[in-house]
Each structure stands twice: as C-alpha cells, then as structure tokens.
C-alpha cells in the first residue's frame, strides 16, 4: 500500500474555546500518525476545555498559550511560529476567533499568529447553529474565504448546547483528510465542476423486495470528497449507499437505474467532468408488482428487461470538452473487458478493477486498479486506499483537461 508523504510537514494547530476543543487531542494524534510535525497554540478559552499538558504530550512540543511568556526559555515569538508553519489549522474555530481573523484584530497569540502567517489556512468552525447562521459570522466566513482561507465543515447534527443544526465541528478524520489533501494537492481542482455517481441501484420486484448488488458507494464517495477537498464543485448522484455521504457536496439521492439515468442526464450540461462509479443495474423487473408476491408451491420466474446504459446515452449527449470517466468491475479478463467498455461507451478513461479479489472492490477499504486510455496507454495503481485511488484518478482528470 502506498503512504502519502506530505510535501508540507509542519502544521500549526490553533485551538480556540469551544467544547469541540476536546477533539483537538485526536486531531494532533491523527496528524502525527500521517507524518506531520504539529505544534499547538491554545487560546485562554481553549485551555478551559482541554489541558495544555495533553496537547504537549501528544504533539511532542510545548504548547504556546501566551503572547508574553513569563521566562525567556518559554518565549517564542509569533513570527517564529508563523515562520515554522507550513499550514495553519484552526480547530475548533469559534465565532469569536473567526471574527478576529476577518477583522484584523490581534489581541492574543492565535489571532496575532494568523495575521503574521503567509502559509495556507484551514478553519474548522464549531458553534451554536444560530451563531453560525448569523449574518455577521457568515460575512466573516465569506470574507476569509475570499482572502484565501479554506474551511472544513461545520457539520449538521446534535450540538453540545442541546439544539441541533449546522454548527458541529467536522470529525477529526475529516479535518485531517482535508489537511493531507491541501498539503499534497492544494486547490488544484478549483473552478471545475465534477459530477460523480456512487453506490448500487435498486430495482423493485414488489413493495418489499428488490434486485441490487454489493456496491457500498465507498469509491464514489471517496472521489466526491477528494474532489471537493481539492476545490472542485461536486454533485454526487447517490444510489442507496451503505456509508455516510459527504457534507461538502451537493447530493442527489436516487434509487433505481432509471432515476440515476435521469439525474445524470439532467445534471450533465452543468458539469465539465463525469465520473461514473455507480454499479448500475443492467436489468430490471419487466413488471414490478404493486402488492407483495405470495409464495406458492411451484417455482417462480421473473422476467427482467434491460435498463438504459447511462454512459452510452451520455456519449451521445456529451460536449466535446467534457471529460467522461467510467469504471469496469470485472471478475475475469479484466483488461480485455475494460478496453471493450472504454471503446463502446466512448470514454476518455476507464478504471478497471478486479472485484473478485478479497482485498479490492466491494465494501473493502482498499482497491487495486488499472487506468486505461483510448490511445492504448495504461497505468497500474497498486493496492491503495480508496482515497488514494480517488486522488490518483482526479490527478488524471487534470491531465485529461490539459491540451
Ligand atoms: N454503467 C452505466 N449504465 C449501466 C451500467 C453500467 O452507465 N446501465 C456504467 C458504470 O457506472 C461503469 C461502467 O458503465 O462506469 C461499466 O459498468 P460495469 O458494471 O462494469 O459494466 P456493464 O457495462 O454493466 O457491463 P457488464 O455488466 O456486462 O460487465
């Protein structure tokens, strides 16, 4: 399996005063695990929620809390910290610290470090839903976004104050994924709109039974998440997936192959790239029944009819400059079958994967694949995580769009 060695290695983590500050310990642990060096700046209010000793032990560095330290040996200026940082991550970021950043107020170490940083900045907001939706906070976020700061979350869910809504800090794994992606790729897909399909489809036999397949949606979701992290505007057409859908993308939920076709054809003109990861049913019951089928003594035959091949339909409707990528799920003759699909569906690239392998394909976290192009080129992607394959595919999207 490949491990992504980050090009940027020094992450300065700012922790401000919200209940989500307790999750900053996990963020430090996960960043260290991925090979980043981490130093922490803890605000006075942040220190009410998490101990500096915990963060010092996990990061392996002293934790910086004050602008003016008591002794010379504890002192490190804000300029030295911002010089050290390859990236400033602020998690959790309260409405207060976001307000200070947006308005140039530098009255503590973290806000002063922010003003003196010229490295990329990633902010993970966490606050009450009403505070988050307040015009002032939204304007501050917009302003920081315009000035180049990136945001991860917040997510929607139950909040510590007892209410629920948008305001919960993103999960540490999602924040660290975002850091890793920014470190490696930056926002190299900014300005691109990408349509991704994911998951299985379900073809109803009667009101309680359906025909489906083993797809969980993991691969398509990994592509959608990675594309959004790299700055693309993403629409995800999702069949009934077994895993949580990402929050940073527009989701269109569908069930059947016909609904997936309609959703893709409808969204296609607004996107420059289509990546069809979904395992679309090729057959559907000729006559789905409105009442549950009762069992009898004899055997039962079901008549199935063909569904539309979405990629074939797309190949007739696509604009010349659109990039269309398909997947080939095979159990035998992997490359031959994939090449036939590449040609028959008029694709710019196909991702061939052997779904009979236990360590690659449906439901598992890893995947091995071969990328194939119409000009006969091919490239192996050795067994990697689905996130790694997603990033490899997206890097090829950039190459395909470069004349
Ligand atoms: N696909 C599609 N519409 C379908 C079936 C598949 O657009 N009705 C797309 C898939 O999303 C994938 C590619 O076509 O990107 C290949 O899908 P796959 O299931 O590997 O092959 P099929 O074309 O269905 O052919 P077969 O099942 O015979 O291997």
132 in any annotated domain: yes
Q: What tens digit of pLDDT does each residue of 244-283 get?
A: 888 779 999 999 999 999 999 999 999 999 999 999 999 9
Q: Which residue has the tokens 């950039």?
A: 398
CATH of the domain at 383: 3.40.50.10300
Asked if residue 295 is part of any domain, the answer here is no
Together in a domain, 96 and 156: yes
As a dihedral over the C-alpha atoms of residue 159, residue 161, residue 163, residue 168, rounded to 10 degrees, the angle is -20
Contact 282 CB / ligand 1 (< 6 Å): yes
Is the domain of 383 the same as that of 264? Answer: yes
Q: Do 152 and 175 form a contact (C-beta atoms < 8 A)?
A: yes
Query: Lowest-pLDDT range, 36-45, 67-76, 186-195, 270-279?
Result: 67-76
Q: Do 118 and 262 sit in the same domain of this protein?
A: no
**Distances, alpha carbon 117 to alpha carbons 7, 41, 87, 139, 233, in Å:** 18, 13, 9, 22, 27
Whether the pLDDT of residue 2 is over 50: the answer is no
Report the residue among 213, 256, 261, 309 best suited for mutation to probe ligand 1: largest number of ligand atoms under 8 A from its CB: 309
Mean pLDDT of 304-326: 97
Instruction: Please indicate, yes or no, if residue 294 is contained in any of the structural domains.
Output: no
Residues of the chain with pLDDT > 90: what percent? 76
Q: Does residue 75 register a pLDDT over 70?
A: no
Same domain, 177 and 213: no
Could you tell which of 199, 340, 341 is best to mutate to test the pocket of ligand 1, judged by most ligand atoms within 8 Å of the CB?
A: 341
pLDDT of residue 247: 75
Domain boundary at 131, 161, 185, which? 185
Whether 217 is covered by a domain: the verdict is: yes
Q: How confident is the model at residue 73 (pLDDT cuts 50, 70, 90)?
A: low
State whether the beta carbon of 254 lies less than 6 angstroms from ligand 1. no
325 CA: nearest ligand 1 atom: 15
Measured CA to CA, the distance from residue 271 to residue 383 in angstroms comes to 30
Q: How many residues does the chain have?
A: 403
**Are residue 314 and residue 180 in the same domain, yes or no?**
no
Position 290 in a domain: no
In-domain check, residue 145: yes
Q: Which of 133, 152, 185 is the last residue of a domain?
A: 185
Q: So what's the pLDDT on residue 4?
A: 46
pLDDT recorded at residue 69: 61
Q: Output the DSSP codes for 98-122.
A: HHHHHHT---SHHHHHHHH--S-EE
Q: Is 313 in the pocket of ligand 1 (CB under 6 A)?
A: no
Average pLDDT on 173-202 reads 93
Q: How far is the CA of 281 from the centre of ligand 1 (A)?
A: 8
**Same domain, yes or no, for 274 and 349?**
yes
* Final residue of a structural domain among 129, 159, 185: 185
* Ligand 1 atom nearest to 337, measured from its CA: 29
**147 and 238 housed in the same domain:** no
Q: Residue 1 — very low, low, confident or very high, per pLDDT cuts 50/70/90?
A: very low
Q: How confident is the model at residue 160 (pLDDT cuts 50, 70, 90)?
A: confident
Average the pLDDT over 48-65 and give the result. Answer: 96
Q: Are residues 321 and 216 in the same domain?
A: yes
384 shares a domain with 348: yes
Residue 3 has pLDDT above 70, yes or no: no
Q: Is this model's pTM higher than 0.85 or not?
A: no
Do 179 and 200 have their domain in common? no
Average pLDDT, whole number, for the chain? 92
Segments forming the whole domain that contains residue 161: 10-185
Identify whether 119 is a catalytic site residue. Answer: no
CA dist., res. 165 & res. 24, Å (int): 21
- Of 2-11, 29-38, 86-95, 366-375, the least confident: 2-11
- Does 235 share its domain with 134? no
Q: Is the CB of 278 under 6 A from ligand 1?
A: yes
Q: For 62-87, what is the mean pLDDT?
A: 77
Structural domains in the chain (count): 2
* pLDDT at residue 5, rounded to an integer: 43
Report, as an integer, the average pLDDT of 141-160. Answer: 86
Which residue among 280, 334, 352 has the greatest number of ligand 1 atoms within 8 angstroms of its CB, and so is best to mutate?
Answer: 280
Q: How far apart are alpha carbons 67 and 129 in whole angstroms?
A: 31
pLDDT above 70 for 116 = yes
Per-residue pLDDT tens over the stretch 21-54: 999 999 999 999 999 999 999 999 999 999 999 9
Greatest Cα-to-Cα distance within the chain, rounded to the nearest angstrom: 89
Are 169 and 249 a contacting pair, CB within 8 Å?
A: no
Average pLDDT over every residue of 115-133:
93
| Ligand 1 and 323: CB distance under 6 A | no
Are 169 and 266 in a shared domain? no
CATH number reported for the structural domain that contains residue 23 in this entry:
3.40.50.1950
* Ligand 1 and 329: CB distance under 6 A: yes
């Amino acid at each position: 399996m490949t491990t992504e060695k980050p090009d940027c290695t020094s992450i300065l983590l700012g922790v401000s005063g919200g209940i989500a500050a307790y999750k900053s310990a996990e963020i430090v642990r996960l960043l260290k695990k991925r090979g980043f060096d981490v130093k922490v700046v803890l605000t006075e209010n942040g220190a009410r929620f998490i101990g500096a000793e915990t963060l010092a032990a996990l990061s392996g560095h002293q934790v910086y809390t004050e602008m003016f330290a008591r002794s010379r040996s504890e002192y490190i200026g804000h300029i030295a910290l911002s010089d050290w940082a390859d990236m400033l991550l602020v998690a959790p970021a309260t409405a207060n610290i976001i307000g200070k950043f947006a308005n140039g107020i530098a009255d503590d170490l973290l806000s002063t470090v922010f003003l003196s940083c010229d490295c990329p900045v990633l902010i993970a907001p966490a606050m009450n839903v009403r505070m988050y939706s307040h015009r002032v906070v939204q304007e501050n976020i917009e302003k920081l976004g315009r000035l180049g700061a990136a945001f991860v979350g917040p997510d929607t869910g139950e909040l510590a104050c007892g209410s629920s809504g948008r305001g919960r800090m993103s999960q540490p794994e999602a924040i660290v994924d975002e850091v890793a992606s920014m470190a490696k790729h930056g926002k190299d897909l900014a300005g691109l709109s990408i349509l991704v399909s994911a998951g299985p489809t379900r073809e109803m036999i009667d009101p309680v039974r359906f025909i489906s397949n083993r797809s969980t949606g993991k691969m398509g979701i990994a592509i959608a998440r990675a594309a959004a992290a790299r700055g693309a505007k993403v629409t995800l057409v999702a069949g009934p997936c077994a895993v949580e859908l990402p929050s940073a993308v527009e989701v269109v939920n569908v069930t059947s192959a016909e609904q997936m076709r309609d959703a893709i054809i409808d969204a296609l003109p607004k996107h420059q790239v289509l990546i069809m990861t979904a395992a679309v049913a090729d057959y559907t019951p000729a006559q789905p029944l409105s009442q549950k089928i009762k069992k009898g003594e004899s055997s039962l035959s079901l008549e199935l009819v063909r569904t539309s091949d979405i990629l074939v339909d797309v190949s007739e409707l696509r604009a010349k400059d659109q990039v269309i990528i398909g997947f080939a799920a095979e159990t035998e003759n992997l490359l031959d079958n994939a090449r036939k699909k590449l040609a028959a569906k008029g694709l710019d690239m196909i991702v061939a994967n052997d779904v009979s392998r236990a360590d690659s394909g449906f439901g598992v976290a890893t995947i091995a694949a071969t990328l194939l192009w119409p000009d006969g080129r091919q490239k192996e992607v050795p067994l990697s995580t689905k996130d790694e394959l997603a990033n490899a595919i997206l890097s090829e999207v950039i190459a395909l769009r470069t004349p």
